[in-house]
Structure 1
């Protein structure tokens, strides 16, 4: 199985970049994990929220094929504890999921095209975080999940 985190817009904060890179390096020992960052929409100030979401959807869909399992990181998605998320990843591996794509939308969320294409929605919290912070939280939780599956001492419960 391969995992991709697909997101809109670059991260400028050095501390977030360093944290993301730390966990990306750790993840390579467990799984093929790719972070794909789609550039922000240009001239978005001249667009309505709906137009911006539609343009972002077109860019996101270019990175998704028909066989991919697409999971939106969405505030209204299913919440998992870390052990449950590890189990979720394990089930996908057992079911021979080839490519699991997790998607972080732009500042206004997802266009209906993306909701229709998605196989599932997951929420990392009921709280709202910046899209850049979500990247760090997601790669850390993915690393934590694999350390749980391998019985390593990173996670304490």
Structure 2
């Protein structure tokens, strides 16, 4: 199984990058992880609705280009369906049992995801009713993916 995380921009804060690297390292025995960063677009000063849509569309084109062929696409969307940690583990396990070799988690930029990206989604997942920075979501998502693989293997999470 290969896990792809597609997201605009870079995780700029050192503490986030340290956490992201730690969970990528912890996931190595279970799965491969690729983080594909696409260009994040600058939001113009005093943007119109059309400006905001253009920004989302440009980021969306980069995201769609970064998606691997035949990958199962899970977009993180505040309007998506919530899932428990055991639920995520079961979903990943079911995808594996059904022959899926790749899952791509898509994180939107500061303005969210374009309608084109949302239409490509196989599943729309809400991590929380709260809003997080798209850089922070990477860390939270990696922790949940790691937890899911520990649950799948029947291993204790806290060592």
TM-score norm. by structure 1 comes to 0.92
| Structure 2 unmatched runs, 5+ | none
Q: Note if contact 2:38-2:66 (Cα within 8 Å) is conserved in structure 1.
A: no
Counterpart CA distance in 1 for 2:76 and 2:140 is 11
CA shift, 1:39, in A, is: 2.6
**Post-superposition CA distance 1:2-55 (Å, at most 9, x none):** 1101000111111111011100001011011111111322x5427711000110
Identify the residue that residue 15 of structure 1 maps to in structure 2.
15
| Structure 1 unmatched runs, 5+ | none
Equivalent positions of 1:123-138 (< 5 A) are 123-138=126-141
Counterpart CA distance in 1 for 2:93 and 2:56 is 32
CA shift, 1:129, in A, is: 0.8
Quick one: which of 41, 55, 58 aligns to 1:55? 58
Counterpart CA distance in 2 for 1:57 and 1:115 is 9
Counterpart CA distance in 2 for 1:59 and 1:113 is 11
CA shift, 1:83, in A, is: 0.9
Question: Does residue 25 of the first structure (1) align with residue 25 of the second (2)?
Answer: yes
Moved over 6 A (4+): none
Q: Note if contact 1:148-1:155 (Cα within 8 Å) is conserved in structure 2.
A: no
Counterpart CA distance in 2 for 1:77 and 1:151 is 28
Q: Note if contact 1:68-1:98 (Cα within 8 Å) is conserved in structure 2.
A: yes
CA shift, 1:65, in A, is: 4.5
CA RMSD of aligned residues (A): 1.6
Identify the residue that residue 82 of structure 2 maps to in structure 1.
79
Counterpart CA distance in 2 for 1:79 and 1:23 is 22
Q: Note if contact 1:106-1:131 (Cα within 8 Å) is conserved in structure 2.
A: yes
CA shift, 1:98, in A, is: 2.3
Counterpart CA distance in 2 for 1:23 and 1:98 is 20
